[in-house]
Structure 1
């Protein structure tokens, strides 16, 4: 049996923690390392991470200190952990910490390494138009996601999949991959393989400004951006009901208009007779059951939106209630 420290923070790390904790034949999760409680929601109330919530439910001791502070090494040694499993913990670990456990630290990363090393591998894969992704278990070294690989599994990205959907699937699939890999490693049935050298895309974190939808690109590119940013940080644009020419010339930083979150969209179906053949980038066209917005190619159909201060709803219902003028644009 391996005495494990589990390090993770968001919802995507919950299933792997539960899988390891449930497998009490092979693992004993002696402690959980997670990020400190953070302010969330409109009230900015401090709330525990999803991983901390599960750890408390399971009765596992929780560590929230900075792993790069000297005091953490004392806590780590006191836990009795032999190895660590890391899933979306969110903090870089330095060499003294990595060397503190006799069996090492192992990361479940949601890409087919060496491609998409970094903070947002699934989001960047979708944005780039990849149709295949996966999960990788590797031993953590001082380089970013560059340690030797122990195992991988693959997953297809569907044409309408969002990053949230793909991450949910990878979290479930990766739970089994992580547990079986750690078991095989402990039984000396698997050997790490160094990652090939080369220049690979880095999955930079996606911020709120990155999620500002561009309509001056082809519809497929805007669709990828929206799916990559859903549910976090959430794709958005500025709804402007002023004169169309003025709105299209406005800069993204312009304070006029209100924020419209786009939760679901897709390139328009050109076989439908009601679908507009062409719209200027950002220009809205509203039918009885559909809402389209112009791009640099064919229009993009808005499926589900969330207007400022409103609940999420079908785009056609939102447009009907908003009583938008013919000059309405998104920018």
Structure 2
């Protein structure tokens, strides 16, 4: 039955590559890949393909890069591949004409244990909110975002020192295995669909993270701020401003530690430093110690490295 599946894969970032790779390596027929248009990246602003496009080209899989997902010409091109199943991993929101096109339908891999953390940034928000558990879910697409009927789910613990980066890596691999499990079940016609049940739950959302979202509010408790920093590290990174002898500088903060100490002489946001080894900043309760940070135009560094070039 496996050979009957003709799959179109839709995805763009690194997170989606293992899911595409695991289908190719298990000899499923991926007839085309849909990904974002090439964009300038990095300091040199060199135009480079998305990670998914790079992998697809290496495997000689046709690549489509529509600028408008509602364009009738794109729809005709999509139909020409005669796919009966579409798989979406970390891609844009699809119009109904696209997700409803294949005979079997279109399923999506989402990096949370749905119905919790629907939205664009589930990994970040789960850590920011201090969750101890999340997961991955495959579900069939429908009109409302991240609300379709569930195919399969698996849970994943969030460790106390996890960052968005470390959790991303684990969910990327776990998610690819769940995609393979889902495809195999569909190929054998051995699956059922389960409606998302949010009854009695306080649903947490995962909206897109903007630069303003990332500014640290030192009026919060230390542990809440530590979770905030973890949830945004390494990208896009929480940030604050520090007054140095060279002027006020915007600093990305990648890692902080709770000292479990307080300084009654400091208001939230005020800090003390020996200008050699430590910067301690007052929160609503405890002092937090900066571990790793970065000022604009410089590399990520330890607090000791930072203080060697910047006097507070």
* Alpha-carbon distance in structure 1 between the residues aligned to 2:265 and 2:115: 41
Cα separation, partners in 2 of 1:62 and 1:278, compared to 1, 3 Å: farther
Given that residues 208 and 234 in structure 1 are in contact (C-alpha distance below 8 angstroms), is that contact kept between their aligned partners in structure 2?
no
**Aligned-partner SS, 1:257:** strand
Runs of 4+ with deviation above 4 angstroms = 275-278
Aligned to 2:268: 281
Given that residues 31 and 62 in structure 1 are in contact (C-alpha distance below 8 angstroms), is that contact kept between their aligned partners in structure 2?
yes
Aligned to 2:20: 17
Given that residues 5 and 83 in structure 1 are in contact (C-alpha distance below 8 angstroms), is that contact kept between their aligned partners in structure 2?
yes
Aligned to 1:31: 32
Aligned to 1:235: 238
Matches within 5 A, 1:1-331: 1=2, 2-24=5-27, 27-65=28-66, 66-89=68-91, 91-198=92-199, 200-241=203-244, 257-270=248-261, 279-287=266-274, 288-324=276-312
* Alpha-carbon distance in structure 1 between the residues aligned to 2:228 and 2:187: 41
* Alpha-carbon distance in structure 2 between the residues aligned to 1:69 and 1:229: 35
**Aligned-partner SS, 1:39:** strand
* Alpha-carbon distance in structure 2 between the residues aligned to 1:18 and 1:51: 9
Show CA shifts across 1:260-279 (max 9, x none).
11111122255xxxx86774
Query: How far apart are 1:296 and its partner, in Å?
Result: 1.0
TM-score, normalised via structure 2 length: 0.92
Query: How far apart are 1:87 and its partner, in Å?
Result: 0.6
**Aligned-partner SS, 1:175:** helix
**Aligned-partner SS, 1:53:** helix
* Alpha-carbon distance in structure 2 between the residues aligned to 1:40 and 1:143: 32
**Aligned-partner SS, 1:5:** strand
Structure 1 stretch displaced more, 286-295 or 298-307: 286-295
* Alpha-carbon distance in structure 1 between the residues aligned to 2:204 and 2:267: 32
* Alpha-carbon distance in structure 2 between the residues aligned to 1:95 and 1:262: 41
Given that residues 263 and 282 in structure 2 are in contact (C-alpha distance below 8 angstroms), is that contact kept between their aligned partners in structure 1?
no
Query: How far apart are 1:210 and its partner, in Å?
Result: 0.7
Provide the alpha-carbon RMSD of the alignment. 1.8
Cα separation, partners in 2 of 1:35 and 1:241, compared to 1, 3 Å: same
Show CA shifts across 1:238-266 (max 9, x none).
11237xxxxxxxxxxxxx72211111112
**Aligned-partner SS, 1:201:** coil
* Alpha-carbon distance in structure 1 between the residues aligned to 2:8 and 2:259: 48
* Alpha-carbon distance in structure 1 between the residues aligned to 2:265 and 2:107: 51
Cα separation, partners in 2 of 1:276 and 1:197, compared to 1, 3 Å: closer
Given that residues 117 and 126 in structure 2 are in contact (C-alpha distance below 8 angstroms), is that contact kept between their aligned partners in structure 1?
yes
Q: Name the count of aligned residue pairs.
A: 304
**Aligned-partner SS, 1:96:** helix
TM-score, normalised via structure 1 length: 0.87
Query: How far apart are 1:299 and its partner, in Å?
Result: 0.9
* Alpha-carbon distance in structure 2 between the residues aligned to 1:107 and 1:60: 20
Show CA shifts across 1:209-234 (max 9, x none).
11111111111111111111112222
**Aligned-partner SS, 1:282:** coil
Query: How far apart are 1:12 and its partner, in Å?
Result: 0.9
